[in-house]
Structure 1
Amino acid sequence: MDTPANDRTATTARQALDALADNTEDATAMDALASSDVLVPVPDDAGEADATDPDVVALPVIERAGGEPVVPVFTSEPAMAELLPHVSRYRLVPLGALASQWPTEDLALTIDAGSPHPLTLTSEGVRTLLARP
Protein backbone atom coordinates (compact mmCIF):
# COMPACT_ATOMS: atom_id res chain seq x y z
CA MET A 1 0.00 0.00 0.00
CA ASP A 2 1.43 3.37 -0.98
CA THR A 3 1.62 6.11 1.59
CA PRO A 4 0.78 9.61 0.39
CA ALA A 5 3.77 11.96 0.38
CA ASN A 6 2.41 14.12 3.21
CA ASP A 7 1.90 11.00 5.39
CA ARG A 8 5.53 9.97 4.78
CA THR A 9 6.69 13.46 5.73
CA ALA A 10 4.54 13.37 8.85
CA THR A 11 5.98 9.98 9.74
CA THR A 12 9.55 11.23 9.19
CA ALA A 13 8.90 14.37 11.22
CA ARG A 14 7.12 12.42 13.96
CA GLN A 15 10.00 9.92 14.14
CA ALA A 16 12.46 12.81 14.37
CA LEU A 17 10.51 14.34 17.26
CA ASP A 18 10.45 10.97 19.03
CA ALA A 19 14.22 10.61 18.56
CA LEU A 20 14.81 14.15 19.85
CA ALA A 21 12.77 13.33 22.97
CA ASP A 22 15.39 10.67 23.73
CA ASN A 23 18.43 12.70 22.64
CA THR A 24 18.08 16.45 22.14
CA GLU A 25 21.43 16.56 20.34
CA ASP A 26 20.57 13.97 17.68
CA ALA A 27 21.83 15.78 14.56
CA THR A 28 20.30 13.23 12.19
CA ALA A 29 16.87 13.69 13.74
CA MET A 30 17.22 17.49 13.67
CA ASP A 31 18.20 17.35 9.98
CA ALA A 32 15.22 15.10 9.22
CA LEU A 33 12.90 17.45 11.05
CA ALA A 34 14.32 20.53 9.32
CA SER A 35 13.79 18.93 5.91
CA SER A 36 10.18 17.98 6.69
CA ASP A 37 7.05 19.87 5.79
CA VAL A 38 4.82 21.12 8.60
CA LEU A 39 1.23 22.32 8.71
CA VAL A 40 0.99 25.99 9.65
CA PRO A 41 -2.54 26.99 10.70
CA VAL A 42 -3.75 30.08 8.86
CA PRO A 43 -4.88 32.68 11.42
CA ASP A 44 -8.60 33.44 11.36
CA ASP A 45 -7.91 37.11 10.69
CA ALA A 46 -5.65 36.42 7.69
CA GLY A 47 -7.05 37.52 4.36
CA GLU A 48 -7.26 35.25 1.32
CA ALA A 49 -4.09 36.78 -0.15
CA ASP A 50 -2.13 35.92 3.03
CA ALA A 51 -3.56 32.43 3.00
CA THR A 52 -2.54 31.68 -0.59
CA ASP A 53 0.49 33.87 -1.41
CA PRO A 54 3.44 31.47 -1.93
CA ASP A 55 5.93 34.13 -0.82
CA VAL A 56 4.23 35.03 2.48
CA VAL A 57 3.22 32.87 5.42
CA ALA A 58 1.00 34.44 8.07
CA LEU A 59 2.13 33.00 11.40
CA PRO A 60 -0.52 32.08 13.96
CA VAL A 61 0.71 33.40 17.31
CA ILE A 62 -0.80 32.16 20.54
CA GLU A 63 0.26 32.81 24.12
CA ARG A 64 1.61 30.05 26.31
CA ALA A 65 1.18 30.05 30.07
CA GLY A 66 3.13 33.05 31.30
CA GLY A 67 2.23 35.11 28.25
CA GLU A 68 5.08 33.95 26.00
CA PRO A 69 4.21 34.16 22.29
CA VAL A 70 4.55 30.90 20.36
CA VAL A 71 3.77 29.74 16.84
CA PRO A 72 2.24 26.25 16.74
CA VAL A 73 2.98 24.02 13.75
CA PHE A 74 2.11 20.38 13.24
CA THR A 75 3.44 17.26 11.54
CA SER A 76 -0.01 15.98 10.55
CA GLU A 77 -3.69 16.89 10.33
CA PRO A 78 -4.60 14.62 13.29
CA ALA A 79 -1.94 16.29 15.47
CA MET A 80 -3.30 19.71 14.53
CA ALA A 81 -6.95 18.70 15.01
CA GLU A 82 -6.18 17.34 18.47
CA LEU A 83 -4.98 20.71 19.74
CA LEU A 84 -6.79 23.12 17.40
CA PRO A 85 -9.99 21.37 16.27
CA HIS A 86 -11.55 24.53 14.84
CA VAL A 87 -8.75 25.35 12.37
CA SER A 88 -10.27 25.44 8.92
CA ARG A 89 -7.21 26.42 6.85
CA TYR A 90 -3.52 25.60 6.94
CA ARG A 91 -0.45 25.82 4.74
CA LEU A 92 2.06 23.03 4.14
CA VAL A 93 5.48 24.67 4.53
CA PRO A 94 9.04 23.25 4.57
CA LEU A 95 10.18 23.70 8.17
CA GLY A 96 13.71 24.66 7.12
CA ALA A 97 12.41 27.40 4.82
CA LEU A 98 10.11 28.72 7.55
CA ALA A 99 13.01 28.76 10.00
CA SER A 100 15.35 30.55 7.60
CA GLN A 101 12.93 33.50 7.56
CA TRP A 102 12.01 33.36 11.24
CA PRO A 103 11.44 36.78 12.85
CA THR A 104 14.20 38.13 15.07
CA GLU A 105 11.73 39.01 17.81
CA ASP A 106 11.32 36.71 20.78
CA LEU A 107 8.91 34.24 19.18
CA ALA A 108 9.09 30.54 19.97
CA LEU A 109 8.05 27.64 17.73
CA THR A 110 6.22 24.59 19.02
CA ILE A 111 5.98 21.49 16.88
CA ASP A 112 3.09 19.14 17.71
CA ALA A 113 2.10 20.76 21.01
CA GLY A 114 -0.19 18.38 22.83
CA SER A 115 1.55 15.27 21.49
CA PRO A 116 3.61 12.87 23.61
CA HIS A 117 6.86 14.41 22.28
CA PRO A 118 6.38 18.06 21.35
CA LEU A 119 9.36 20.27 20.60
CA THR A 120 9.51 23.94 21.54
CA LEU A 121 12.40 26.09 20.35
CA THR A 122 13.27 29.67 21.14
CA SER A 123 13.54 32.16 18.30
CA GLU A 124 17.31 31.69 18.23
CA GLY A 125 16.93 27.91 18.33
CA VAL A 126 14.59 27.97 15.35
CA ARG A 127 17.07 29.97 13.26
CA THR A 128 20.20 28.07 14.29
CA LEU A 129 18.91 24.50 14.53
CA LEU A 130 16.31 24.29 11.78
CA ALA A 131 17.22 26.85 9.12
CA ARG A 132 18.54 25.23 5.97
CA PRO A 133 19.98 26.97 2.89
Structure 2
Amino acid sequence: MPIEAKYSFDEVLDAALRYPVPRGGRVTFEYVLLRGVNDGSAHARELARRLRGRRVKVNLIPLNPAPEIPFQPPSAEAVDAFGLILAEAGVAVSVRRPRGRDILAACGQLHLKGAAVAPVAAHP
Protein backbone atom coordinates (compact mmCIF):
# COMPACT_ATOMS: atom_id res chain seq x y z
CA MET A 1 0.00 0.00 0.00
CA PRO A 2 1.36 3.46 -0.80
CA ILE A 3 0.54 4.60 2.74
CA GLU A 4 3.20 2.16 4.00
CA ALA A 5 5.79 4.83 3.31
CA LYS A 6 4.43 6.45 6.47
CA TYR A 7 2.53 3.72 8.36
CA SER A 8 3.11 -0.03 8.50
CA PHE A 9 0.46 -2.55 7.47
CA ASP A 10 -0.06 -3.41 11.15
CA GLU A 11 -0.56 0.25 12.10
CA VAL A 12 -3.16 0.71 9.36
CA LEU A 13 -4.90 -2.51 10.39
CA ASP A 14 -4.94 -1.51 14.07
CA ALA A 15 -6.37 1.92 13.23
CA ALA A 16 -9.11 0.38 11.08
CA LEU A 17 -10.01 -2.11 13.80
CA ARG A 18 -10.25 0.70 16.39
CA TYR A 19 -12.68 2.62 14.18
CA PRO A 20 -16.00 3.06 16.02
CA VAL A 21 -18.63 1.03 14.18
CA PRO A 22 -22.36 1.31 14.80
CA ARG A 23 -23.92 -1.55 16.73
CA GLY A 24 -24.16 -4.55 14.44
CA GLY A 25 -21.90 -2.91 11.84
CA ARG A 26 -18.59 -4.05 10.44
CA VAL A 27 -15.37 -2.54 9.16
CA THR A 28 -14.97 -3.43 5.47
CA PHE A 29 -11.54 -4.07 4.02
CA GLU A 30 -11.09 -3.75 0.25
CA TYR A 31 -8.37 -6.27 -0.60
CA VAL A 32 -6.97 -6.14 -4.13
CA LEU A 33 -5.54 -9.50 -5.20
CA LEU A 34 -2.39 -9.46 -7.36
CA ARG A 35 -1.23 -12.72 -8.95
CA GLY A 36 1.91 -14.00 -7.26
CA VAL A 37 2.09 -11.04 -4.86
CA ASN A 38 -0.70 -11.46 -2.29
CA ASP A 39 -3.12 -14.07 -3.66
CA GLY A 40 -1.67 -17.27 -2.16
CA SER A 41 -3.09 -19.49 0.54
CA ALA A 42 -0.40 -18.34 3.00
CA HIS A 43 -1.56 -14.74 2.52
CA ALA A 44 -5.18 -15.78 3.01
CA ARG A 45 -4.36 -17.71 6.20
CA GLU A 46 -2.39 -14.76 7.59
CA LEU A 47 -5.20 -12.32 6.83
CA ALA A 48 -7.72 -14.75 8.35
CA ARG A 49 -5.56 -15.04 11.48
CA ARG A 50 -5.45 -11.27 11.88
CA LEU A 51 -9.18 -10.76 11.29
CA ARG A 52 -10.73 -13.87 12.89
CA GLY A 53 -13.26 -13.05 15.60
CA ARG A 54 -13.56 -9.38 14.64
CA ARG A 55 -16.52 -7.46 13.22
CA VAL A 56 -15.11 -7.16 9.73
CA LYS A 57 -15.88 -7.98 6.13
CA VAL A 58 -13.31 -8.47 3.38
CA ASN A 59 -14.23 -7.50 -0.16
CA LEU A 60 -11.84 -9.37 -2.45
CA ILE A 61 -11.07 -7.43 -5.62
CA PRO A 62 -9.16 -9.24 -8.37
CA LEU A 63 -6.82 -6.74 -10.01
CA ASN A 64 -8.11 -5.24 -13.22
CA PRO A 65 -5.02 -5.23 -15.46
CA ALA A 66 -3.96 -2.26 -17.52
CA PRO A 67 -0.89 -1.71 -19.72
CA GLU A 68 0.54 0.72 -17.13
CA ILE A 69 0.36 -1.82 -14.28
CA PRO A 70 3.17 -4.38 -13.97
CA PHE A 71 0.90 -6.90 -12.19
CA GLN A 72 -1.59 -9.51 -13.34
CA PRO A 73 -4.97 -10.54 -11.95
CA PRO A 74 -5.18 -13.81 -10.03
CA SER A 75 -6.94 -16.80 -11.53
CA ALA A 76 -10.61 -17.30 -10.65
CA GLU A 77 -9.55 -20.45 -8.78
CA ALA A 78 -7.05 -18.48 -6.67
CA VAL A 79 -9.72 -15.89 -5.81
CA ASP A 80 -12.19 -18.60 -4.81
CA ALA A 81 -9.58 -20.46 -2.74
CA PHE A 82 -8.57 -17.22 -0.97
CA GLY A 83 -12.19 -16.44 -0.16
CA LEU A 84 -12.84 -19.97 1.09
CA ILE A 85 -9.94 -19.76 3.53
CA LEU A 86 -11.33 -16.51 4.95
CA ALA A 87 -14.89 -17.87 5.12
CA GLU A 88 -13.79 -21.07 6.85
CA ALA A 89 -12.04 -18.90 9.46
CA GLY A 90 -15.33 -17.11 10.12
CA VAL A 91 -14.41 -13.92 8.27
CA ALA A 92 -17.26 -12.44 6.21
CA VAL A 93 -16.10 -12.23 2.60
CA SER A 94 -17.42 -11.16 -0.77
CA VAL A 95 -15.82 -11.09 -4.21
CA ARG A 96 -16.14 -8.18 -6.58
CA ARG A 97 -16.48 -9.66 -10.04
CA PRO A 98 -14.92 -7.48 -12.75
CA ARG A 99 -17.02 -5.74 -15.38
CA GLY A 100 -15.64 -3.81 -18.34
CA ARG A 101 -12.19 -5.37 -17.99
CA ASP A 102 -12.09 -6.40 -21.66
CA ILE A 103 -12.31 -2.76 -22.82
CA LEU A 104 -10.09 -1.34 -20.04
CA ALA A 105 -13.12 0.28 -18.40
CA ALA A 106 -13.17 -1.67 -15.14
CA CYS A 107 -12.52 -0.20 -11.69
CA GLY A 108 -9.03 1.31 -11.54
CA GLN A 109 -8.36 1.14 -15.27
CA LEU A 110 -9.82 4.37 -16.60
CA HIS A 111 -7.83 6.87 -14.55
CA LEU A 112 -4.50 5.15 -15.22
CA LYS A 113 -4.07 6.14 -18.84
CA GLY A 114 -0.68 7.86 -18.88
CA ALA A 115 -0.33 7.86 -15.08
CA ALA A 116 2.86 6.87 -13.29
CA VAL A 117 2.47 3.81 -11.07
CA ALA A 118 4.31 3.47 -7.74
CA PRO A 119 5.92 0.13 -6.78
CA VAL A 120 3.87 -2.18 -4.54
CA ALA A 121 5.21 -4.42 -1.77
CA ALA A 122 3.69 -7.82 -0.95
CA HIS A 123 1.75 -8.06 2.31
CA PRO A 124 -1.06 -10.18 3.72
TM > 0.5 fold call: no
TM-score, structure 1 length as denominator? Answer: 0.27
User: Considering only CA atoms, is the larger Rg found in Structure 1 or Structure 2?
Assistant: 2
TM-score, structure 2 length as denominator? Answer: 0.28
Which structure has more relative contact order (CA 8 Å, sep 6+)? It is 2
